[in-house]
A = this chain, B = another copy of it.
Amino acid sequence: MKVVSAIKRVPESIRNHFEQKYSQTEFIFCHGIEEAETYLSEADVFVTYGEDLNKERIQKAEHLKWIMVLSAGMDRMPFEEIEERGITVTNVRGIHARPMAEYAISMLLQVSRQAKTLIAQETKHQWDRTPVLNEINNRTMVLLGTGAIAQETARLAKAFHMKTIGVSKSGNAKPHLDETYTVEELKDVLPEADFVVAVLPSTEETRYLMNKSHFQMMKESSLFLNMGRGDLVSSTDLLEAIRNKEIAHAVLDVFEEEPLPQEHPFWEEENVTVTPHHSGISPHYVPRAFEVFDENLERYLKQEELVNLIDPKRGY
């Protein structure tokens, strides 16, 4: 059996691990699709970030039985051809959960404990114990979204003794969420929130889901953190809410336009913290992605059911 990988710069330790563990399998680690293309026709398994496949390449890969996508996004996959050929697709769904949950907790701590003020004091050699360090424990977190990232964020929030409330399309119960509600019930739970953490994907239903009226019903002391999609709320509505002090602070990792334009008012607004859409970036990404592949390859060789199976009809 042949595994062809188009992933660039796979660390030697990972290559060695696979070659030693699966000695009956041939691994061809290529530096990108251009190099991998030569071997596609022999591949039984193809490892990719999912952005380099098209109809022609699927046709060329005549022995292909399984595509392991080391990414969570599937937008550019040629699912029609994949379905016709009956090729199995799996991805690394949930891989962003740990870095994004750490992002959320670190930013809640940073804002609550006035890190910017304290760092400025340090620059001035100023020993000043007056800034109030609000604790995050015992607060209420409302999560917009209840998937893997929301659950991992809620799990950490529970360690800080928070109450966790999830809001999703279905409103179904999920691990680490004390309560769950449907999107229609959003306005019922927002007044309770100390922290609103948005991890919603961008769909027709979530675009501009939050508007002025939502911020108006939130606590004046509350914090809004968006690490989902930038089109959950309009910049104008959010800026108005901040300037009217309807909420205390917004932490934004995603924006309607990215990169956030140099002249955008968010950069200068005292009660807005801007980060450059990096909440999901992690130095552990590649090792973690190959761990999922490792588990699945083991299952594949034992003819067991794979994890993170994608339905080519739905694309997720």
| A residues whose Cβ falls under 8 Å from a Cβ of B | 98-99, 102-103, 105-106, 109-110, 113, 115-116, 118-119, 121-122, 125, 127-129, 131-137, 155-156, 159-160, 258-260, 262-264, 267-268, 273-278, 281-284
Contact B98 A129 (CB under 8 A): no
**Cα distance, A193 to B262, chains bound together (Å):** 41
Contacts of A109 in B (CB 8 A): 102, 105-106, 109-110
Contacts of A115 in B (CB 8 A): 106, 110, 115, 119
- Where chain A touches its partner, the secondary structure class is loop
Contact B133 A282 (CB under 8 A): yes
Q: Smallest CB–CB gap between A259 and chain B, Å?
A: 4
**Cα distance, A273 to B98, chains bound together (Å):** 25
Contact B133 A281 (CB under 8 A): yes
Contacts of A119 in B (CB 8 A): 115-116, 119
* A98-B259 in contact given A106-B109, A115-B115 (Cβ < 8 Å): no
Instruction: Return 12 A-B CB contacts under 8 Å, by A number.
Output: A103-B113, A110-B110, A121-B276, A122-B267, A125-B264, A127-B259, A129-B281, A132-B283, A133-B278, A134-B283, A155-B159, A156-B159
Given A121-B276, A122-B274, A125-B268, 15 more A-B residue pairs with CB atoms under 8 Å apart are A98-B137, A99-B133, A102-B136, A105-B109, A106-B109, A106-B110, A109-B110, A116-B119, A118-B275, A125-B264, A127-B259, A132-B283, A135-B282, A156-B160, A159-B159
Contacts of A103 in B (CB 8 A): 113, 133
Q: Which residue of B lies closest to A272 (CB)?
A: B122
Q: Which residue of B lies closest to A118 (CB)?
A: B275
* A99-B135 in contact given A116-B119, A129-B276, A159-B159 (Cβ < 8 Å): yes
* A122-B273 in contact given A99-B135, A110-B115, A135-B102 (Cβ < 8 Å): yes
Contacts of A264 in B (CB 8 A): 125
Contacts of A263 in B (CB 8 A): 125
| Contact residue among B136, B267, B281 (Cβ-Cβ distance under 8 Å from A125) | B267
Q: Smallest CB–CB gap between A205 and chain B, Å?
A: 29
Q: Which residue of B lies closest to A121 (CB)?
A: B276
Q: Which residue of B lies closest to A278 (CB)?
A: B129
**Cα distance, A113 to B281, chains bound together (Å):** 11
- Please name the 3 residue pairs, one residue from A and one from B, whose CB atoms are nearest each other, closest first: A159-B159, A127-B259, A106-B109
**Cα distance, A128 to B281, chains bound together (Å):** 12
Contacts of A275 in B (CB 8 A): 118, 122
**Cα distance, A284 to B138, chains bound together (Å):** 11
Contact A276 B137 (CB under 8 A): no
Contacts of A284 in B (CB 8 A): 135
Q: Which residue of B lies closest to A134 (CB)?
A: B283
Contact A135 B98 (CB under 8 A): yes
**Cα distance, A69 to B211, chains bound together (Å):** 49
